[in-house]
Amino acid sequence: MLVIASGALSHTFWPLRELRDHEASDPSNIFSPEALAADLLRLEWLKAGDHASVLDTMPEFLQVKPEARFAHYLMMAGAMGESELTAPGVLYSEYENSIGTGQVHVWFDRPASGWTSGKGSQ
């Protein structure tokens, strides 16, 4: 199966008058410390294959306005097992800023044991 999901993590642009001060890709230029912390926490969960934590905390993540309400990830996770999905993510780029938004490329290989933990199928 190949599922491609494309979208940002936190997704608030800097106001136009402040944009030039935050163009560098360094994560310190993410729109807010809360957005940066939320993105980094989710990246740790994704790297660990803890998709359940990402899904369980969507109400909190929505506070930092992920791109398109994070629908790109939600559709991918739904197609691959929802909260039972255990595939660890591999970062194919550094996490970086793009005028206030959190950007990264993450790949999920199918684990030898399958996409899911199998907890729901018992």
* Mean pLDDT, all residues of the chain: 95
- The mean per-residue pLDDT over the stretch 73-101 comes to 97
pLDDT exceeds 90 at position 84: yes
Q: Over the stretch 27-61, which tens digit does the pLDDT of each residue have?
A: 999 999 999 999 999 999 999 999 999 999 999 99
Query: What per-residue confidence (pLDDT) applies to 119?
Result: 67
CA–CA dist 88, 104 (Å, integer): 15
**pTM of the prediction?**
0.93
CA–CA dist 63, 15 (Å, integer): 18
**Strands 89-91 and 106-108: what pairing?**
antiparallel
